[in-house]
Amino acid sequence: MTSLDDLPIRADLRGLSPYGAPQLEVPVRLNTNENSYPVPDVVAETIGRAIAAELRNLNRYPDRDAVALRGDLAAYLGHGLTRDQVWAANGSNEVQQQLLQVFGGPGRTAFGFTPAYSMHPLLALGTGTRWVPARRGADFGLTVGEAVAQVREHRPDVVFLCSPNNPTGTALDPAVVAAVLAEAPGMVVVDEAYAEFARAGAVSALSLLPGHPRLVVTRTMSKAFGFAGGRLGYLAADPAVVAAVQLVRLPYHLSALTQAAARAALVHRDALLGTVSAIKVQRDRIVSELRSRGHRVADSDANFVLFRVGGDQRVAWQVLLDAGVLVRDVGLPGWLRVTAGTPAETDAFLLALEKLSS
């Protein structure tokens, strides 16, 4: 049998394994920050009709520029955005890959404050962009001073900020985003995959877009919209940025079925986003319950919670799995991350967690 090592793959990819959380069949899956609520029937029916209407046209390529969908996404975002300021792709992972293809690449650097979303360095790797891991302060916080000093030192071509941050859950102080934007010589990408779950007072970087053509905000329908399987991510930025990513996007990257499904889902955005407040209740319940049990817990503006287990998190992860609850080991010694889902899932998680102390 031919192994990977027998193939003439790039030297920088040798010895690596593909990214991905374990997809295990267990009763309670709280490891990938999905929305636990299924798509409501009325929405599924609308999506089904929209897809059916496309089927006989599948002999034709889709709208290469996804113009109608981008208009719908701009209307959803508000902030006076128009479709020429929005771009869409198969998940925000693909959007960010396109950004690195056009603004990163060989000889260029991308930079992010670790721990943050682990795909950012992997997208850098795949696009031949050098990754510079910057540091966070105590308790995973990030002050204006710490952020600006590191941007000044490394002068990266692309800065990734993640707000609310994965895996910590905490939204960035808007002053940090503004200060990084002022200091960075290149593009600043604010990954707002979890924006809809933020606590009151959090400010989206969308409000900074006017007058900042090097700022990009990425969003996704995978989390709050409960549309992870539909694969739809998008960005908002200056129209010049949208023109720039079109230099590297594959022609017809977004299928007619995806475009139709996403547009139908957006028609029902109130029904889909109706789960957000219920999920936030569970998120806040997990935070307060874990704190009352003596765990250290990061503040969460997302649909997940990072908590300290003490001792080896790999052991704790297995104990929870044996109790039927799958959470995420993000590789932070002593910490685990759990997705907030339904009340029953929270019950199961909190019960399983009791096994840790017994």
Interface residues toward ligand PMP, by CB under 6 A? 33, 91-93, 117, 162, 166, 191, 193, 220, 222, 228, 233
Q: Can you tell me the distance from the alpha carbon of 284 to that of 200, in angstroms, rounded to the nearest whole number?
A: 13
227/317 with CB nearer ligand PMP: 227
Are the C-beta atoms of 301 and 169 separated by less than 8 Å?
yes
How many Cα atoms sit within 13 Å of 112 on the Cβ side? 24
162/306 with CB nearer ligand PMP: 162
* Residues sharing a CB contact under 8 Å with residue 159, sequence separation 6 or more, in sequence order: 110, 111, 112, 151, 180, 184, 186, 187, 188, 189
Which residue is closest to ligand PMP by CB? 91
193/297 with CB nearer ligand PMP: 193
262/309 with CB nearer ligand PMP: 262
Q: Can you tell me the distance from the alpha carbon of 162 to that of 167, in angstroms, rounded to the nearest whole number?
A: 10
b vs e for 63-72, b when ≥16 Cβ sit within 10 Å of the residue's Cβ?
Answer: eeebeebbbb
Q: Smallest distance, Å, CB 310 to ligand PMP?
A: 25
Q: Smallest distance, Å, CB 124 to ligand PMP?
A: 14
Q: Smallest distance, Å, CB 76 to ligand PMP?
A: 15
Q: Smallest distance, Å, CB 240 to ligand PMP?
A: 23
* Beta strands per DSSP E along the chain: 28-29, 86-89, 109-114, 130-135, 158-162, 187-191, 215-220, 233-237, 304-308, 325-326, 335-339
Structure tokens of 288?
């307060």
Q: Smallest distance, Å, CB 91 to ligand PMP?
A: 3
289/299 with CB nearer ligand PMP: 299
Q: Can you tell me the distance from the alpha carbon of 218 to that of 234, in angstroms, rounded to the nearest whole number?
A: 6
233/341 with CB nearer ligand PMP: 233
Q: Smallest distance, Å, CB 7 to ligand PMP?
A: 27
